[in-house]
Amino acid sequence: MAEKKQRILVVEDEEDILALIQFNLTRQGYEVETAVCGEEALAKIRGQVPDLMVLDLMLPGIDGLEICRQLRSHTTPETAAIPIIMLTARGEEEDVVRGLEMGADDYLTKPFSMKILIARIQTVLRRQTDNPFLCNEEITHGLLSISPGRSLVRVEGERIELTFTEFKVLEALAMRPGWVFTRYQIVNMVRGEDYAVTDRAVDVQIAGLRKKLGPCGLYIETVRGVGYRFQEKI
């Protein structure tokens, strides 16, 4: 039986860029769907959830940030967990941080190398099944439980919806309680050494985690001037 192709949804309103991405990803063996606006993208996602989305921030109508917000707040776990790689013509740090705050997993600034985009896509897709911290045993700390094999987090028995990156940050910290990790080390554990990200972007992920975890957010301790660690008790 032939292996099922991974499905990628590319959302881009510049037709030449859209065609270029579609051509190259198809050559890599992916099944590629396209959309030129936010409304069309959301309609296609409702029809079939993709394995990953390449999403331009600047779109007519519903923009990329709003698409991220809607997907991450969606009640369907499969939709909320779609990996998202942002494309933006704006290189400002604020735009990158806003995208990460909305739940994007990675980003590239235009103009970008097609080889780098393909490498980022492969990395994000591989992270779903390939993680040096992956284990099948549930991690439990008080009211907080983490199931790495199922990417599932519960607080007081209630499921908490996290983005892919938020989950990986929490998993990496919780696997080594008491260890202090710098922001650079956290990036390496979650995304790999070739991923460039600002210190503030790491702080954004931590802030989002703490908010979603409620009282269990206190497990993540800030070590001033160094980074973060997961406390064994709160």
Residue 68 has pLDDT above 80, yes or no: yes
CATH number of 7-127: 3.40.50.2300
Task: pLDDT band for 197, please (50, 70, 90 cuts).
Answer: low
Contacts of 150 (CB under 8 A, 6+ apart): none
Q: What is the largest CA-CA distance in the chain?
A: 54
Instruction: Report the candidate in 42, 45, 36, 37 with the shortest Cα–Cα distance to residue 16.
Output: 36
Contact assessment for residue 71 and residue 92, using Cβ atoms and an 8 Å cutoff = no
CA gap 21, 27 in Å, rounded: 10
Placement of tokens 């394995």 in the chain: 51
Average pLDDT score, the chain = 84
Please report the pLDDT score of residue 76 as a whole number.
Answer: 60
Contact assessment for residue 88 and residue 107, using Cβ atoms and an 8 Å cutoff = yes
User: What are the tens digits of pLDDT across the range 143-174?
Assistant: 999 987 667 899 998 999 888 778 888 988 99
Question: Beta strand pairing status for 139-141 and 180-182?
Answer: unpaired
Instruction: Report the topology of domain 139-230.
Output: Arc Repressor Mutant, subunit A (1.10.10)
- How do the domains of the chain map onto residue ranges? 7-127, 139-230
Residue 214 has pLDDT above 70, yes or no: yes
